[in-house]
Structure 1
């Protein structure tokens, strides 16, 4: 069972490890960051209305993080990753996105976009399966979007 839970210091520490993994870093297009920058980011979260982050819990195990950023009115940017590689390819990504969509609708976000590395073929196929459409390119990343204002079939 997938649950979105509070992103706490335990998730922060795991995220630091996951996002420094070269393969995950490349697939998520994550920049280099210091421990101090990570702590500063974490401390900024309670005051931010444009960024919602969750830890991903799978049967009691911390496996990744996901959420929305750049939230403005009815629009938000999806992002997420599973940091535990042995769980890749198990269909969990679709469950995670479904949970984020439920949250998005609860705060009035009906239009979601994302940026994905063209090298992240598995993610692109997942997003297309869910209903995201390609909408362009930006700084070497693919832009995709979806309207979740109607019935969801994720």
Structure 2
């Protein structure tokens, strides 16, 4: 994957973004690169893809959407067989450690310049996608999880 593709991957964003080594973005005869993005459910990235493709006319983004369980099962199968993975795959954080154990199945984002981005992530979020030996970064987290809401009980009671 080229650094141009990494920039597209980072612009496209998802849950934890992994860049599969078995995937290969396709190049058209006209020089256009088609990047595939594998997601579980609709992340609502359509407008972001359009915006990115408008400013990068040589890149087309194609989304593949599956159900949650099917997506993760299929990704595991694709990685085991070395074929079929999207260029960029979203992975629920609970599955990330399953993939960091096999960093050779992914592009090391550190080799593609991601180390310059480290300061944009919380330390613990950055660590989640590092290989066990800390030598390879296979993904970039897109969120930090749960959300909480605090409220004043007395105001809720007064409002009925």
Per the TM superposition, whether the score is higher than 0.5 is no
Q: TM-score, normalised on structure 1?
A: 0.34
Q: TM-score, normalised on structure 2?
A: 0.33
Of Structure 1 and Structure 2, the greater strand share is in 1
